[in-house]
Each structure stands twice: as structure tokens, then as C-alpha cells.
């Protein structure tokens, strides 16, 4: 009996040590490293135009949509006065198509997987515009677009206009 009791105590001690080690490893994996912000920044007033002519992906996600979502969230959280305008054109223009036109353009049957992100941006006050020249070149009309998308005459003219009005250009 003493051998059995010693073995049980040894197993229990081993289990406590292993669980304690695993617990500290799990805690390390779930914790964020310390980050000190050296340059605190807050925008009180800003107007931004995003020239979105190229679809750049990070894995399956569109890099620019994440960036602009972060900017729009910061604008909202900081009560920033101003506006964000995204001008879609070129090979990124398909992102603002309705489900049926998206399927036809991209040769898929999924519908537009970006509409939720784009609707979220519009809900945060981001104005989404499509280049009229790109729309004409692709034979798209207003009915082919997601609700809320505005159409300008030409992306380059619109970006130039907004820059002349003092908007900061972000090129994606």
C-alpha cells in the first residue's frame, strides 16, 4: 500500500507541474506584447481621398479595405470633422458591383463578398464613388452597382478636384 500511495502522490505532483507549465505557456500565447506609442496622433479635422485603382490582396483580404476601415473607425472614435471619399476605378472597380453583375464579371456564383465591408464603410460615413469612364468602359450602369455608390465623371478628374480642395491623397 505505501508504494501505491507514493506512486499516486508522484503522479499528482507531476500532473500539477505539467498543468502549471502548460498554463503559463497558454497565458504567454494569448497575451499581447507590450506596445508603447511614441507618437500619439489624433485627427481633429481631416478630409481624405482614397485613389483605389488597384486591388491588392493580403491573403484573401483586400489590403486597402482594412486600412480604410481602420481610418473610418478612428474618424468616428475621435469625432474627427471631415470626410473620407474612396474613388474606385481600373482593376478595383468590380468591388462595388451588385451581386448579379459581380457574378457575371468575376465568373462566379457567390455574389459580391465585399458588399458587407463596403456597406460598413458607408455606414461609417465613407463616400464610395465609381469612375464614370471605368463604368462606361465595362458597360455598367447605375443599376449594376451596390446601393449607395455614387458615380463621378472620371476618377483622375475627381481625385484632382478633391486634392485642389485640400483633401489628403491616399493611393491604394
Strand, coil or helix: 168: strand
Residue 42 phi, psi (nearest 5): -150, 130
pTM over 0.85: no
The string of pLDDT tens digits covering residues 31-72 is: 789 999 999 999 999 999 999 999 888 787 788 899 999 999
Statement: residue 16 has pLDDT above 50: no
The set of residues, in sequence order, having a beta carbon less than 8 Å from that of 2 and lying 6+ positions away, is none
pLDDT value at residue 23: 53
Angle, helix 115-123 to helix 63-78, in steps of 10 degrees: 20
The string of pLDDT tens digits covering residues 127-165 is: 999 999 999 999 999 999 999 999 999 999 999 999 999
Amino acid at each position: 500500500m505505501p508504494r501505491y500511495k507514493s506512486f499516486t502522490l508522484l503522479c499528482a505532483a507531476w500532473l500539477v507541474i505539467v498543468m502549471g507549465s502548460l498554463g503559463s505557456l497558454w497565458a504567454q500565447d494569448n497575451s499581447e506584447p507590450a506596445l508603447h506609442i511614441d507618437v500619439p496622433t489624433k485627427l481633429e479635422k481631416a478630409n481624405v481621398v482614397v485613389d483605389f485603382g488597384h486591388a491588392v490582396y493580403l491573403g484573401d483580404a483586400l489590403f486597402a479595405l482594412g486600412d480604410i476601415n481602420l481610418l473610418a473607425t478612428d474618424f468616428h472614435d475621435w469625432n474627427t470633422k471631415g470626410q473620407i471619399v474612396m474613388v474606385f476605378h481600373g482593376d478595383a472597380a468590380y468591388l462595388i458591383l451588385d451581386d448579379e453583375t459581380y457574378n457575371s464579371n468575376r465568373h462566379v456564383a457567390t455574389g459580391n463578398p465585399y458588399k458587407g465591408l463596403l456597406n460598413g464603410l458607408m455606414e461609417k460615413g465613407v463616400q464610395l464613388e465609381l469612375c464614370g469612364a471605368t463604368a462606361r468602359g465595362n458597360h455598367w450602369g447605375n443599376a449594376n452597382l451596390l446601393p449607395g455608390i455614387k458615380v463621378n465623371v472620371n476618377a483622375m478628374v475627381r481625385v484632382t478636384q478633391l486634392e485642389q480642395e485640400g483633401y489628403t491623397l491616399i493611393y491604394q
